Structure 1
Amino acid sequence: MSETTQTIPRESIDVLDQLMKPEVQQSLTVLVENLPKLAELVTILTKTYDVVQNVVTDQVLIEDIKGGMEEFVKPIQEGAKGIASAAIEANDRVQTAQTASIGLFGMLRMLKDPQVQKALQLSQAFLDVLAERRSQKEQH
Protein backbone atom coordinates (compact mmCIF):
# COMPACT_ATOMS: atom_id res chain seq x y z
CA MET A 1 0.00 0.00 0.00
CA SER A 2 2.88 2.34 0.71
CA GLU A 3 4.17 1.88 -2.84
CA THR A 4 0.77 2.86 -4.24
CA THR A 5 0.63 5.93 -2.02
CA GLN A 6 4.05 7.00 -3.23
CA THR A 7 3.11 6.70 -6.92
CA ILE A 8 -0.14 8.68 -6.57
CA PRO A 9 0.53 12.42 -6.61
CA ARG A 10 -0.39 14.33 -3.46
CA GLU A 11 -3.02 16.42 -5.34
CA SER A 12 -4.92 13.25 -6.29
CA ILE A 13 -5.03 12.10 -2.70
CA ASP A 14 -6.39 15.50 -1.66
CA VAL A 15 -9.11 15.23 -4.31
CA LEU A 16 -10.01 11.72 -3.18
CA ASP A 17 -10.19 12.91 0.42
CA GLN A 18 -12.52 15.71 -0.67
CA LEU A 19 -14.71 13.26 -2.61
CA MET A 20 -15.15 11.12 0.49
CA LYS A 21 -16.84 13.96 2.42
CA PRO A 22 -20.64 13.49 2.63
CA GLU A 23 -21.43 17.11 1.76
CA VAL A 24 -19.29 16.87 -1.40
CA GLN A 25 -21.02 13.62 -2.39
CA GLN A 26 -24.41 15.25 -1.80
CA SER A 27 -23.42 18.25 -3.93
CA LEU A 28 -22.21 15.97 -6.71
CA THR A 29 -25.52 14.09 -6.62
CA VAL A 30 -27.43 17.37 -7.01
CA LEU A 31 -25.17 18.39 -9.89
CA VAL A 32 -25.62 15.06 -11.66
CA GLU A 33 -29.41 15.25 -11.22
CA ASN A 34 -29.47 18.75 -12.70
CA LEU A 35 -27.06 18.17 -15.57
CA PRO A 36 -29.79 18.35 -18.26
CA LYS A 37 -30.92 21.75 -16.96
CA LEU A 38 -27.35 22.96 -16.63
CA ALA A 39 -26.57 21.83 -20.18
CA GLU A 40 -29.64 23.70 -21.46
CA LEU A 41 -28.64 26.80 -19.53
CA VAL A 42 -25.08 26.67 -20.86
CA THR A 43 -26.44 26.33 -24.40
CA ILE A 44 -28.66 29.39 -23.96
CA LEU A 45 -25.81 31.39 -22.44
CA THR A 46 -23.49 30.38 -25.27
CA LYS A 47 -26.02 31.46 -27.91
CA THR A 48 -26.60 34.74 -26.08
CA TYR A 49 -22.87 35.34 -25.86
CA ASP A 50 -22.50 34.67 -29.60
CA VAL A 51 -25.29 37.13 -30.45
CA VAL A 52 -23.87 39.82 -28.18
CA GLN A 53 -20.40 39.24 -29.57
CA ASN A 54 -21.70 39.61 -33.13
CA VAL A 55 -23.57 42.80 -32.25
CA VAL A 56 -20.59 44.33 -30.47
CA THR A 57 -18.22 43.62 -33.33
CA ASP A 58 -20.61 44.68 -36.14
CA GLN A 59 -19.36 48.16 -37.07
CA VAL A 60 -22.24 48.78 -39.50
CA LEU A 61 -24.81 48.09 -36.79
CA ILE A 62 -22.91 50.24 -34.30
CA GLU A 63 -22.84 53.14 -36.78
CA ASP A 64 -26.57 52.68 -37.49
CA ILE A 65 -27.40 52.79 -33.78
CA LYS A 66 -25.15 55.81 -33.33
CA GLY A 67 -26.85 57.59 -36.24
CA GLY A 68 -30.30 56.77 -34.88
CA MET A 69 -29.40 58.11 -31.46
CA GLU A 70 -28.01 61.30 -32.99
CA GLU A 71 -31.25 61.81 -34.96
CA PHE A 72 -33.23 61.36 -31.74
CA VAL A 73 -31.05 63.60 -29.58
CA LYS A 74 -30.42 66.40 -32.10
CA PRO A 75 -33.93 67.96 -31.99
CA ILE A 76 -33.92 67.83 -28.18
CA GLN A 77 -30.48 69.40 -28.09
CA GLU A 78 -31.50 72.14 -30.52
CA GLY A 79 -34.66 72.84 -28.51
CA ALA A 80 -32.64 73.12 -25.30
CA LYS A 81 -30.15 75.44 -26.98
CA GLY A 82 -33.03 77.60 -28.24
CA ILE A 83 -34.58 77.86 -24.79
CA ALA A 84 -31.21 78.61 -23.19
CA SER A 85 -30.38 81.33 -25.73
CA ALA A 86 -33.85 82.89 -25.27
CA ALA A 87 -33.34 82.91 -21.49
CA ILE A 88 -29.91 84.53 -21.87
CA GLU A 89 -31.29 87.14 -24.28
CA ALA A 90 -34.22 87.89 -21.96
CA ASN A 91 -31.85 88.26 -19.03
CA ASP A 92 -29.65 90.61 -21.07
CA ARG A 93 -32.69 92.72 -21.98
CA VAL A 94 -33.72 92.97 -18.34
CA GLN A 95 -30.20 93.93 -17.31
CA THR A 96 -29.83 96.62 -19.99
CA ALA A 97 -33.35 98.05 -19.60
CA GLN A 98 -33.42 101.12 -17.38
CA THR A 99 -37.10 100.85 -16.48
CA ALA A 100 -37.62 100.93 -12.75
CA SER A 101 -40.63 98.66 -12.44
CA ILE A 102 -43.77 97.49 -14.20
CA GLY A 103 -46.85 99.29 -13.03
CA LEU A 104 -50.48 98.24 -12.91
CA PHE A 105 -51.24 99.46 -16.44
CA GLY A 106 -48.09 97.79 -17.74
CA MET A 107 -49.27 94.51 -16.25
CA LEU A 108 -52.72 94.93 -17.81
CA ARG A 109 -51.08 95.47 -21.22
CA MET A 110 -48.95 92.36 -20.66
CA LEU A 111 -52.05 90.28 -19.91
CA LYS A 112 -53.22 90.87 -23.50
CA ASP A 113 -50.04 89.31 -24.91
CA PRO A 114 -50.76 85.78 -26.29
CA GLN A 115 -47.46 84.45 -24.90
CA VAL A 116 -48.32 85.71 -21.42
CA GLN A 117 -51.76 84.13 -21.74
CA LYS A 118 -50.20 80.78 -22.70
CA ALA A 119 -47.78 80.98 -19.78
CA LEU A 120 -50.61 81.77 -17.36
CA GLN A 121 -52.78 78.95 -18.74
CA LEU A 122 -49.88 76.51 -18.45
CA SER A 123 -49.23 77.67 -14.88
CA GLN A 124 -52.91 77.26 -13.98
CA ALA A 125 -53.11 73.80 -15.54
CA PHE A 126 -49.93 72.75 -13.73
CA LEU A 127 -51.30 73.94 -10.40
CA ASP A 128 -54.62 72.15 -11.08
CA VAL A 129 -52.79 68.86 -11.76
CA LEU A 130 -50.77 69.22 -8.56
CA ALA A 131 -53.93 69.91 -6.56
CA GLU A 132 -55.70 66.88 -8.07
CA ARG A 133 -52.77 64.62 -7.25
CA ARG A 134 -52.58 65.95 -3.71
CA SER A 135 -56.30 65.29 -3.17
CA GLN A 136 -55.94 61.77 -4.61
CA LYS A 137 -53.12 61.04 -2.16
CA GLU A 138 -55.21 62.31 0.73
CA GLN A 139 -58.14 60.07 -0.28
CA HIS A 140 -55.92 56.97 -0.21
Structure 2
Amino acid sequence: MSETLTQQPASVEATTAKELDVLDQLMKPEIQKSLTDLVENLPKLTEMVTVLTKAYDLAQTVATDKVLIEDMKNGLGEFVKPIQDKAKGIASAAIEANDRAQKDSSTIGLFGLLKLLKDPQMQKMFRFTQAYLDVMSERQNQR
Protein backbone atom coordinates (compact mmCIF):
# COMPACT_ATOMS: atom_id res chain seq x y z
CA MET A 1 0.00 0.00 0.00
CA SER A 2 2.89 2.36 0.66
CA GLU A 3 4.04 1.75 -2.91
CA THR A 4 0.77 2.98 -4.36
CA LEU A 5 0.87 6.19 -2.35
CA THR A 6 4.37 7.13 -3.48
CA GLN A 7 3.71 6.47 -7.17
CA GLN A 8 2.17 9.27 -9.19
CA PRO A 9 -0.15 8.59 -12.08
CA ALA A 10 1.47 8.63 -15.54
CA SER A 11 -0.54 11.68 -16.62
CA VAL A 12 0.84 13.76 -13.73
CA GLU A 13 4.38 12.71 -14.62
CA ALA A 14 3.80 13.56 -18.29
CA THR A 15 2.40 16.96 -17.34
CA THR A 16 5.40 17.69 -15.14
CA ALA A 17 7.75 16.65 -17.95
CA LYS A 18 5.92 18.93 -20.37
CA GLU A 19 6.12 21.83 -17.93
CA LEU A 20 9.87 21.27 -17.62
CA ASP A 21 10.20 21.17 -21.40
CA VAL A 22 8.33 24.48 -21.65
CA LEU A 23 10.54 26.04 -18.99
CA ASP A 24 13.64 24.76 -20.77
CA GLN A 25 12.36 26.27 -24.02
CA LEU A 26 11.68 29.61 -22.32
CA MET A 27 15.27 29.77 -21.11
CA LYS A 28 16.66 29.74 -24.67
CA PRO A 29 17.75 33.21 -25.88
CA GLU A 30 16.14 32.82 -29.33
CA ILE A 31 12.80 31.95 -27.73
CA GLN A 32 13.06 34.97 -25.42
CA LYS A 33 13.82 37.23 -28.39
CA SER A 34 10.86 35.79 -30.32
CA LEU A 35 8.58 36.42 -27.36
CA THR A 36 9.86 39.99 -27.06
CA ASP A 37 9.21 40.57 -30.77
CA LEU A 38 5.76 39.06 -30.42
CA VAL A 39 4.88 41.30 -27.47
CA GLU A 40 6.16 44.38 -29.33
CA ASN A 41 4.01 43.54 -32.36
CA LEU A 42 0.85 42.67 -30.46
CA PRO A 43 -0.95 45.91 -31.45
CA LYS A 44 -0.32 45.20 -35.15
CA LEU A 45 -1.31 41.58 -34.74
CA THR A 46 -4.50 42.62 -32.96
CA GLU A 47 -5.35 45.02 -35.78
CA MET A 48 -4.69 42.33 -38.39
CA VAL A 49 -6.81 39.79 -36.55
CA THR A 50 -9.63 42.33 -36.27
CA VAL A 51 -9.55 43.02 -40.01
CA LEU A 52 -9.40 39.32 -40.82
CA THR A 53 -12.29 38.63 -38.46
CA LYS A 54 -14.41 41.31 -40.13
CA ALA A 55 -13.53 39.94 -43.58
CA TYR A 56 -14.40 36.43 -42.43
CA ASP A 57 -17.72 37.62 -40.98
CA LEU A 58 -18.56 39.42 -44.23
CA ALA A 59 -17.65 36.37 -46.32
CA GLN A 60 -19.68 34.14 -44.04
CA THR A 61 -22.69 36.46 -44.29
CA VAL A 62 -22.44 36.63 -48.08
CA ALA A 63 -21.95 32.88 -48.41
CA THR A 64 -25.01 32.09 -46.32
CA ASP A 65 -27.35 34.79 -47.69
CA LYS A 66 -29.63 32.82 -50.00
CA VAL A 67 -31.34 35.93 -51.40
CA LEU A 68 -28.00 37.51 -52.35
CA ILE A 69 -26.78 34.28 -53.91
CA GLU A 70 -29.98 33.95 -55.94
CA ASP A 71 -29.78 37.59 -57.08
CA MET A 72 -26.15 37.16 -58.12
CA LYS A 73 -27.00 33.98 -60.01
CA ASN A 74 -29.87 35.68 -61.84
CA GLY A 75 -27.75 38.75 -62.62
CA LEU A 76 -24.93 36.63 -63.96
CA GLY A 77 -27.42 34.63 -66.01
CA GLU A 78 -28.80 37.82 -67.57
CA PHE A 79 -25.26 38.90 -68.42
CA VAL A 80 -24.18 35.55 -69.90
CA LYS A 81 -27.39 34.74 -71.82
CA PRO A 82 -26.86 37.26 -74.70
CA ILE A 83 -23.24 36.19 -75.08
CA GLN A 84 -24.26 32.54 -75.08
CA ASP A 85 -26.99 33.18 -77.69
CA LYS A 86 -24.58 35.09 -79.93
CA ALA A 87 -21.95 32.33 -79.67
CA LYS A 88 -24.58 29.71 -80.55
CA GLY A 89 -25.66 31.81 -83.54
CA ILE A 90 -22.11 32.15 -84.81
CA ALA A 91 -21.44 28.43 -84.34
CA SER A 92 -24.63 27.41 -86.14
CA ALA A 93 -23.84 29.79 -89.03
CA ALA A 94 -20.34 28.31 -89.32
CA ILE A 95 -21.73 24.77 -89.34
CA GLU A 96 -24.34 25.66 -91.97
CA ALA A 97 -21.72 27.43 -94.12
CA ASN A 98 -19.44 24.41 -93.89
CA ASP A 99 -22.29 22.11 -94.96
CA ARG A 100 -23.08 24.33 -97.96
CA ALA A 101 -19.41 24.54 -98.95
CA GLN A 102 -19.12 20.73 -98.80
CA LYS A 103 -22.16 20.29 -101.08
CA ASP A 104 -21.08 22.93 -103.63
CA SER A 105 -18.38 21.60 -105.92
CA SER A 106 -18.40 24.43 -108.47
CA THR A 107 -15.23 26.38 -109.14
CA ILE A 108 -15.02 30.10 -108.66
CA GLY A 109 -13.35 31.79 -111.58
CA LEU A 110 -12.03 35.30 -112.12
CA PHE A 111 -15.45 36.79 -112.83
CA GLY A 112 -16.89 34.96 -109.82
CA LEU A 113 -14.20 36.58 -107.66
CA LEU A 114 -14.99 40.01 -109.09
CA LYS A 115 -18.65 39.45 -108.30
CA LEU A 116 -17.74 38.38 -104.75
CA LEU A 117 -15.67 41.53 -104.28
CA LYS A 118 -18.84 43.62 -104.69
CA ASP A 119 -20.76 41.63 -102.07
CA PRO A 120 -21.50 43.86 -99.00
CA GLN A 121 -20.50 41.11 -96.55
CA MET A 122 -17.17 40.64 -98.33
CA GLN A 123 -16.57 44.39 -98.26
CA LYS A 124 -17.31 44.40 -94.54
CA MET A 125 -14.90 41.50 -94.02
CA PHE A 126 -12.17 43.23 -96.07
CA ARG A 127 -12.57 46.49 -94.08
CA PHE A 128 -12.36 44.55 -90.82
CA THR A 129 -9.31 42.63 -92.02
CA GLN A 130 -7.59 45.85 -93.13
CA ALA A 131 -8.35 47.58 -89.82
CA TYR A 132 -7.12 44.55 -87.85
CA LEU A 133 -3.88 44.40 -89.80
CA ASP A 134 -3.36 48.17 -89.28
CA VAL A 135 -3.83 47.81 -85.51
CA MET A 136 -1.44 44.85 -85.34
CA SER A 137 1.14 46.77 -87.38
CA GLU A 138 0.87 49.81 -85.10
CA ARG A 139 1.28 47.67 -81.99
CA GLN A 140 4.30 45.91 -83.45
CA ASN A 141 5.92 49.26 -84.33
CA GLN A 142 5.38 50.54 -80.78
CA ARG A 143 7.59 47.83 -79.35
Q: Give TM-score scaled by structure 1 length.
A: 0.89
Could you tell me how far apart the structure 2 residues matched to 1:59 and 1:38 are? 33
Select 1:128's aligned residue among 114, 131, 134: 134
SS in structure 1 at match of 2:142: helix
Q: Which residue of 2 aligns with 1:33?
A: 40
Could you tell me how far apart the structure 2 residues matched to 1:133 and 1:47 are? 45
Could you tell me how far apart the structure 2 residues matched to 1:104 and 1:45 are? 71
Select 1:83's aligned residue among 58, 71, 90: 90
Deviations 1:46-68 (A, max 9, x none): 11110000000111111111111
Could you tell me how far apart the structure 1 residues matched to 2:24 and 2:31 are? 10
Q: Which residue of 2 aligns with 1:44?
A: 51
Select 1:55's aligned residue among 52, 56, 62: 62
Q: Which amino acid aligns with 1:120?
A: F
Could you tell me how far apart the structure 2 residues matched to 1:33 and 1:135 are? 55
* C-alpha displacement of 1:134: 1.5
Q: Which amino acid aligns with 2:104?
A: A
Q: Which residue of 1 aligns with 2:6?
A: none
SS in structure 2 at match of 1:9: helix
RMSD: 1.2
Could you tell me how far apart the structure 2 residues matched to 1:21 and 1:55 are? 46
* C-alpha displacement of 1:98: 3.0
Q: Which amino acid aligns with 2:132?
A: F
Q: Which amino acid aligns with 2:141?
A: S
Question: Unmatched 5+ residue regions in structure 2?
Answer: 1-12
Identity of aligned residues (%): 65
Tell me the number of residue pairs that the alignment of Structure 1 and Structure 2 aligns. Answer: 130
Q: Which amino acid aligns with 1:24?
A: I
